[in-house]
Amino acid sequence: MAQGVPTTYYYSDSSISTWIATVSNTPNPEKVYTIGLVQYEAFTSLSEMQSFNTEAMKLGVMGTTIIVPSGDRGVLKDYIDATTNTRYLDCGYFAQFPASSPYVTAIGGTMGPELNNPEVTGTSCTQTTNQITSGGGFSVLKRVTVH
């Protein structure tokens, strides 16, 4: 997305694999889709990732590009589970999906131009002074393949 570019917004309350299957079955899909979803790869089912990857690959063959956020906080080594308020420390790297899919383009956020400032990599500090930076777009699962 960029400032001044005509944009159409879609909202879906279905799973990401259901959404992308709907898009890939569209006779003339858009040339670019940007997804605003990030979820931990480790907590996304293998079937969900495989379904998404299959449909993303189909869209790529049709000439459609899928852009996704690379995730927050860089190479995250700890996280807080919002549902249980449990903090997990040094449990390994937490890849984010769908940024970990080989069939998408993962990009990091930027900030600045919206306030007439120079564009820089997106960073912000929360109330607890945790810095949020752009993620890595890597995968820790070697088993996610498309057949």
DSSP string, 3-17: TT---------S-HH
In this predicted structure, the answer to whether residue 136 has a pLDDT above a threshold of 70 is no
pLDDT tens digits for range 68-86: 887 765 555 556 666 676 6
- For the chain, the domains span 30-132
Per-residue pLDDT band at 49 (split at 50, 70, 90): very high
CA distances from 54 to 21, 97, 146 (A): 9, 14, 6
Measured between alpha carbons, how far is 55 from 19 in angstroms, rounded to an integer?
Answer: 10
Per-residue pLDDT band at 132 (split at 50, 70, 90): low
The answer to whether the beta carbons of residues 24 and 55 sit under 8 Å apart is: yes
Segment 80-107 shows an average pLDDT of 74
Measured between alpha carbons, how far is 93 from 29 in angstroms, rounded to an integer?
Answer: 34
